Structures are given as C-alpha cells and as structure tokens.
C-alpha cells in the first residue's frame, strides 16, 4: 500500500488469470492493508506448462463507487507452442506474369512483377479490392511535425518520400510450394532504403506463410512504420484480435490496455481529431481476424507478435485532409499487418521521440500467416 495515510479499506481488488484469452481463475478480494504494508495472495489455479499465445494475470483496483483506480497486467512465464502450419504443401502454377495457388475453396494470385497478391478468393468471392503492398508511411500526427520532413515530400532534398514508395522485383524463384522474391523499396527519385527477400509458402488448408527478411540502408532516418497493407471489400469491417486493447495503443502508450481477446469494427476505431492524423493502432497482437457480417474474411496469425490496424480511412485521406469535417469514410476496410509502428511521442510541444520508441531497426525479420476464413463460432481461430 503506497498511500501515505489511507488503508485499503473500501477498495476492491480483482485478479484474473487467463490462458490464451480464456479465464483460468478470477477472484475479488477486499483487505484492510495499512499504508506501507503489503498483502500477498496465492492463486489456487494450476498454471499450464504451455500455451499457444500467452498466459497473463491482470489485477484491477476499484474504489467504493466501482471506479477503476489502478490496473496491472503481467505475463506469466509459460512455454509457447510453435505456430507451425501442419497442412500439406500446395503446389502452384504459373503463367507469364502470375503465380496461382488454388485449393478446394480458395485461390491466391501472386504477381511476378510486383511480388504481392493481386487476388485472394474464398468460395469464389474476392477478398481484395486492391493488390497487397508493403508500405512504410502512416498519416503524420501533430507530434510528427518536425520529423515528417524526413519521411514525405515536404522537403524535396531530405525526405525519403515514404509516402510515395516503389517496390522493385529483381528476381524470383519457385521451389515446390515456396516462392521467393528478391526486392527493394525506394521513395520516388531516391536510392533504395530497404533491400529484402519476400517469400510465400502455400498450404492445402488455405494458409500462406509470409516471411520478410532484409536490411535498411544505414543512413536512413527512423521509419514511421513497416508492414503490409490490404484493402478489403468489407463495409462493416468487423474484427477480433488477441492483443493490447480495447483502445488504440502504440509502443510508447500501452499501459492503459490489457492483452486479451477484443472485438471491434473499423468504424469504431476512428478517433475524431480536429486535424486528421494517425490513430487506431494495436500492439502486441498474436492474431487478428477481419470479416464481414457473414463471417467471411481473412485471418492473420504472427510467428511472433505484430501490430494491427483496421480503418475506413486510408493514410492518404488522413494526410491530405486538413480538418475532420472534410474526411470521407471509405466503404472498404484498410488493414495493416505491421512489423512495427513508430511511437507517438510529444514533439508538438516536447522533445523528439525517445530512441527506444523509434523504428530504427536496420535488420528486419518478420513472419506471419494469412488464411481466408468463414467464422464458425465466436472464436476466430476455430474457422472453416
């Protein structure tokens, strides 16, 4: 009890031990611990030796009126099962410009010229309205006003032009169910800032193991973000994810959330800033399922954690419009599956973003799987 004069009399403490989002033990306790003293509780639940996504304990403190006045979440050490795809490898076919992987109720079309998916079909229905892309830009925030000259076309001499990036394919090879592209990314009229290998492995259950491995040029200033963008024809844009939530989070603003299974939709993620800007990101995500009212969509599962966002506003819309009243929501859903997103900071009136929260990694390794889904029940992992 860190109060100077007040005991814990009248306060309630609730702890919840969860394994992969499922509650293992939940209990409310009330104590009269004096200032400066400590109380210890020993949960009775037998903790698992292993789990799939994570084992956590969350403690909430509430006052007499039921208001939450404190929260703490800690991860409990437990061995995590490897996220290996057990389905049979799926053979691919190729034409002059495309590579196709087709299964019983799904079909992927991969462009040889761009290295990205042009089409993903589930039961004959298209799940992409635009080709997938690897991107690095996010709509600048008020706190990015000093750094954005190194990111976009604000300063034609210094910026890397992350808001106008071209991805170039140098070569590719097909080895069974695996396709690998040697590629680079460069802002318009700039040297390449990222040279990488992008590979896809196709499996009979519709899963695609996606791996990105490469290096950032040494003299590149820290990036706004790095990850993949997909545009889905989902007017409602519902989603579930196991990660930090339910509110938006960034690497330097996470303590207000808890890692759990959260549900939302693209419209609800909008934050009504007077000046449109970046918002709605989620950190420490293990999986995310984005789907329509009938449960049709895509499931993303990370080899490790990733960052995730779903919105009805593109980065271009949020960047170009100066006032919130001018924004026009798209009927589609823009989805980001990110390796990392740079922190928000306070540079509109404070110091530059602390180095610990800058995306200044020079070697990138990122892996996740994609799978077209139809939700079978409330758990997005149990899908058909």
Across the chain, which distance is largest between two alpha carbons, in Å?
77
CA distance 34 to 7: 4
The confidence score (pLDDT) of residue 381 equals 62
Number of residues written out for the chain: 384
Residue 61's Cβ-side half-sphere holds a number of Cα atoms within 13 Å equal to 11
CA distance 232 to 35: 54
The confidence score (pLDDT) of residue 375 equals 80
The confidence score (pLDDT) of residue 365 equals 98
Residue 14's Cβ-side half-sphere holds a number of Cα atoms within 13 Å equal to 13
Q: What's the whole-model pTM score?
A: 0.94
Residues 6+ apart with CB under 8 A from 90: 101, 103, 177, 202, 203, 204
For the beta carbon of residue 56, count every other beta carbon within 10 angstroms.
Answer: 21
CA distance 162 to 151: 5
CA distance 104 to 145: 50
pLDDT truncated to tens, each residue of the chain (384 aa)? 999 999 999 999 999 999 999 999 999 999 999 999 999 989 999 888 889 999 999 999 999 999 999 999 999 988 888 778 889 999 999 999 999 999 999 999 999 999 999 999 999 999 999 999 999 999 999 999 999 999 998 777 788 999 999 999 999 999 999 999 999 999 999 999 999 999 999 999 999 999 999 999 999 999 999 999 999 999 989 999 999 999 999 999 999 999 999 999 999 999 999 999 999 999 999 999 999 988 899 999 999 999 999 999 999 999 999 999 999 999 999 999 999 999 999 999 999 999 999 999 999 999 999 999 988 654 556 654
The confidence score (pLDDT) of residue 384 equals 42
Query: Which residue in 113, 105, 213 sits closest to 172, CA to CA?
Result: 113
The confidence score (pLDDT) of residue 50 equals 87
């Amino acid at each position: 009890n860190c109060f100077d004069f007040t005991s814990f009399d009248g306060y309630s403490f609730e702890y919840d031990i969860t394994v992969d989002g499922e509650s293992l033990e939940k209990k409310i306790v009330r104590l009269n611990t004096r200032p400066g003293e400590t109380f210890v509780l020993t949960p009775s639940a037998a903790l698992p030796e292993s789990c799939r996504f994570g084992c956590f304990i969350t403690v909430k403190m509430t006052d007499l009126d039921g208001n939450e006045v404190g929260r703490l979440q800690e991860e409990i050490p437990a061995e995590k099962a490897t996220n290996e795809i057990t389905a049979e490898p799926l053979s691919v076919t190729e034409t002059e410009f495309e590579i196709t992987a087709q299964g019983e109720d799904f079909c992927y079309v991969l462009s040889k010229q761009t290295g990205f998916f042009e089409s993903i079909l589930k039961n004959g229905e298209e799940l992409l309205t635009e080709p997938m892309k690897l991107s690095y830009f996010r709509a600048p925030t008020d706190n990015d006003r000093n750094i954005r000259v190194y990111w976009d076309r604000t300063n034609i001499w210094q910026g890397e032009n992350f808001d106008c990036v071209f991805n170039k394919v140098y070569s590719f090879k097909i080895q069974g169910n695996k396709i690998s592209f040697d590629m680079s990314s460069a802002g318009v009229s700039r040297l390449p800032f990222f040279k990488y290998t992008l590979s896809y492995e196709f499996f009979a259950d519709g899963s695609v193991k996606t791996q990105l491995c490469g290096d950032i040029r040494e003299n590149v200033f820290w990036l706004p973000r790095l990850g993949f963008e997909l545009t889905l024809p989902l007017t409602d844009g519902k989603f579930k994810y196991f990660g930090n939530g339910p509110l938006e989070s960034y690497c330097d603003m996470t303590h207000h959330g808890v890692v759990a299974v959260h549900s939302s939709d693209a419209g609800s993620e909008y934050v009504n800033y007077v000046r449109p800007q970046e918002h709605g990101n989620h950190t420490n995500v293990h999986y995310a399922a984005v789907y329509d009212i009938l449960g049709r969509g895509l499931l993303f599962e990370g080899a490790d954690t990733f960052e995730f966002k779903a919105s009805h506003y593109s980065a271009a819309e949020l960047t170009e419009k100066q006032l919130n009243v001018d924004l026009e929501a798209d009927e589609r859903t823009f989805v980001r599956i990110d390796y990392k997103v740079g922190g928000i900071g306070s540079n509109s009136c404070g110091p530059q973003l602390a180095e610990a929260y800058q995306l200044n990694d020079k070697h990138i390794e990122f892996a996740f799987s994609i799978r077209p889904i139809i939700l079978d029940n409330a758990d997005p992992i149990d899908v058909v």
